Amino acid sequence: MYTISKQFHFSASHQLDGLPPDHQCARLHGHNYEVELILQSETLDSYGFVVDYLALRPFKAYLDEFLDHRHLNDVLPFPSTAENIACHLYAWAKERWPQVTAVRISETPRTWAEFRES
């Protein structure tokens, strides 16, 4: 099995509704998100790629256009936890590249959430 990954980033604000008022994530705050797109294939294409990294440009464009420097509560129809964002980005990417097996997202250098096919 061949595995590749590519990292992307975006910056955005959000707040998580329904948490206790003293919870830090209940307050308006922002993150410099890191996103890792992971793809796998048992075979390579005629060029020797799982997927050409250049073919992943639409993923970067999506992040830039719809998430970067936005308030996520205004643009996402679900609670903007890292787990939900990873699931959303996985579904978006999987429609375009069947080789996608997981999306990881980080809000801080020490925390990651991952959505992966079962």
pTM metric for this prediction: 0.94
Q: Measured between alpha carbons, how far apart are the two ends of the chain, in Å?
A: 16
pLDDT at 105 over 90: yes
Residue 91 belongs to what domain range? 2-116
Within 10 angstroms of residue 33's Cβ, the number of other Cβ atoms is: 21
d(CA 63, CA 89): 9
pLDDT digits (tens, 9 = 90+) for 56-80: 999 999 999 999 999 999 999 999 9
pLDDT at 63: 98
Q: Is the Cβ–Cβ distance between 113 and 105 less than 8 Å?
A: yes
d(CA 24, CA 90): 27
Nearest CA-CA partner of 98 in 41, 46, 35: 41
CATH code, 36: 3.30.479.10
Number of domains composing the chain: 1
d(CA 93, CA 58): 9
